Amino acid sequence: MDQETEFITLDGSLLEGGGQVLRNCVALSCLTNKPVRIINIRLKRDKPGLKPQHLSGLQLIRDIFKAELQGDKIGSKEILFHPSDVDQNKTFICDTKTAGSIALLIQIALPPLLFSAPPQKSKLPLPPRTQKAILKGGTNVSMAPPIDFLIEVFKPIVQREFGFNFDINVIGRGYYPQGGGEVILSVDPLVNQALKPLNMIDRGKIINIKGRVTIANSPKDVATKIISGVSQALSNASLPELNNIKPDIEINIEKITFGKGHDILLWAETSSGCIISGSAVSNRGQSPVDVGKIAAEVLLRNIKHGGCVDEYLQDQLIIFMAIAEGKSRIITGPITLHTRTAIHFAEIMSSAKFNITKLESSESQQRVQEHSERLDDEYNVGLHMIECEGIGIKIAR
């Protein structure tokens, strides 16, 4: 790389200290055209440095933006990334060759792809070509959102609120440890258009609960047992707002080439358009009934806090709020460490400004379990409003 290039140096060990720092900062590097040097990558993990999933995501973005990339090897704790021009007329392929999360590949790829329209060759105002990426790895794995979450929760919210279009087509499922899943991500790039600001401050009333159980190369009665676990947990909770609401859970039976697995996504829809979710994927030694109970308990936890988004959607909205035009606002439950991390690095990489306000609510005393011991009390309990004055990124072609 050019020795005169000025890089923004970012410490990947700060706050949550995981792969999210890498994904968001590289995406923002492309969007702001700011070269980055990321050090101490995933330093707080048991096995620090780049894993196949992170390396694959980096190489995907490198290919899309013809970027210069150094340090792209398994175990690397430091990278240099310098974006350039958008590659044109190409379908990109990204294969983790493991059960690395496809959902997290989408997390790094989607924001840059939204602004990846190549220069117009015609004088006619033709719409830009849809950008496509074929992503291979795990669709339903632990420690990452299931692909169903992106389809049923993330996608409808961000499309409606921010005003852009994309599609997620699941070709095949992949579970730990073999992977083998495949998803096609199709994105319609924006031209001369900024994202709209997000405004989700009214939770509304829960009007239904839906779900999807997926069993892959597993006995059919596994699905029934998972649903039984859901029913037990919801019944034991005795939440008044769920009275007279019977979950509508579909069963999806898949034949996959590698391994086996099962999982469930539950989501509650509200009268104001909010979608609150809970999910669980099979782990060794865990019964199908337990899988159902865990998903229901996560859903209940996120319903009880009274916010408009769940703890998993919360941090994924931050990068879009930062690059949108105008003031975005969401009311949410406890602020996760992932969200605080996303805000910290979004403010460094852009001129977006965030503000978190604690709201008074006697009903909201739910704690975020993930990394809760590392969160300040003011963020760990209750309702909060996150506001952001976005930078309004717009690409002229």
List the CATH number of the domain containing 120. 3.65.10.20
Same domain? For 132 and 152 the reply is: yes
281 and 210 assigned to the same domain: yes
**Is 53 known to sit in a ligand binding site?**
no
With a CB cutoff of 8 Å and minimum separation 6, the contacts of 154 are 145, 313, 316
The neighbour count for residue 370, using CB atoms within 10 Å, is: 13
| 8 A C-beta contact, residue 79 and residue 52 | no
Among 85, 104, 124, the domain-final residue is 85
β-bridge partners, 80:
37, 70
- Same domain for 12 and 107? no
Q: What is the pLDDT of residue 250?
A: 97
Provide the phi-psi class of 390: left if phi over 0, else alpha when psi is between -120 and 50, else beta.
Answer: beta
If asked whether residues 2 and 70 sit together in one domain, one would say yes
Tell me the CATH number at 40.
Answer: 3.30.110
Residues 50 and 105 in one domain: no
Check whether 20 is labelled as a binding-site residue: no
Give the SS3 label for residue 281. Answer: strand
CATH number at residue 213: 3.30.360.20
Into how many domains does the chain fold? 4
Beta bridge partners of 248: 210
C-alpha–C-alpha distance, residues 354 and 339, integer Å: 11
Residue 276: alpha-carbon gap to chain centroid:
14
* This prediction's pTM: 0.93
Final residue of a structural domain among 36, 64, 85: 85
**Cα separation of 324 and 36, whole Å?**
21
Residue (of 31, 38, 101, 41) closest to 61 by Cα position: 31
5/66 same-domain check: yes
User: Tokens standing for 118?
Assistant: 């190549």
Which helix or strand (DSSP H or E) is residue 21 part of?
helix 19-32
- Structural domain includes residue 201: no
Phi, psi of 51 (to 5 degrees): -105, 170
Q: Any bridge partners for residue 355, and if so which?
A: 387
Helix 52-64 vs helix 102-114: angle between axes, to the nearest 10 degrees? Answer: 20
Residue 175 labelled as part of a binding site: no
State the pLDDT at residue 370: 45
Cα–Cα distance, 282 to 264 (Å, whole number): 9
Question: Does 291 lie in the same domain as 324?
Answer: no
Annotation-wise, does 316 bind a ligand? yes
* Amino acid (1-letter code) at residue 331: I
Strand arrangement of the beta sheet that strand 79-82 belongs to: 8-11, 36-39, 79-82, 68-70
Residue at 61 is within a domain = yes
Residue numbers of the domain that contains 49: 1-85
- Identify whether the C-beta of residue 86 lies closer than 8 Å to the C-beta of residue 117: yes
Residues 235 and 290 in one domain: yes
Do 326 and 381 lie in one domain? The reply is yes
Asked if residue 197 is part of any domain, the answer here is no
Number of other residues whose CB lies within 10 A of the CB of residue 392: 13
Ligand-binding annotation for 369, yes or no, is no
| Per-residue model confidence (pLDDT) at position 124 | 60
- CA–CA–CA angle 5, 108, 139 (5° rounding): 150
Residue 116 CA from chain centroid, whole number: 20
* pLDDT of res. 117: 81
Please tell me whether residues 92 and 44 are part of one structural domain. no
For residues 388 and 354, the answer to whether their CB atoms sit within 8 Å is yes
- Sign of the dihedral defined by the CA atoms of residues 19, 303, 161, 200, in that order: negative
d(C-alpha 391, C-alpha 221), whole Å:
51
Establish if 239 belongs to a structural domain: yes
**Within a domain: 198:** no
Structural domain includes residue 196: no
Query: Is 315 annotated as belonging to a binding site?
Result: yes
Classify residue 181: in a domain, yes or no: yes
Question: 91 and 81 share a domain?
Answer: no
What is the model's pLDDT at position 259? Answer: 85
Active site residues per annotation: 338
**Boundary residue ending a domain (288, 304, 320):** 304
Tokens of 16: 């949550």
Shared domain check, 252 and 163: no
pLDDT tens across the length of the chain (397 residues): 666 679 999 999 999 999 999 999 999 999 999 999 999 999 989 899 999 999 999 999 999 999 999 999 999 999 999 998 877 667 899 999 999 999 999 999 999 999 988 766 666 666 678 899 999 999 999 999 999 999 999 999 999 999 999 999 999 999 998 899 999 999 999 988 999 999 999 999 999 999 999 999 989 899 999 999 999 999 999 899 998 899 999 999 998 888 899 999 999 999 999 999 999 999 888 999 999 999 999 999 999 999 999 999 999 999 999 999 999 999 999 999 999 999 999 999 999 999 999 997 544 445 444 444 444 567 788 899 999 999 999 976 6
On whether residue 199 sits in a domain, the answer given is no
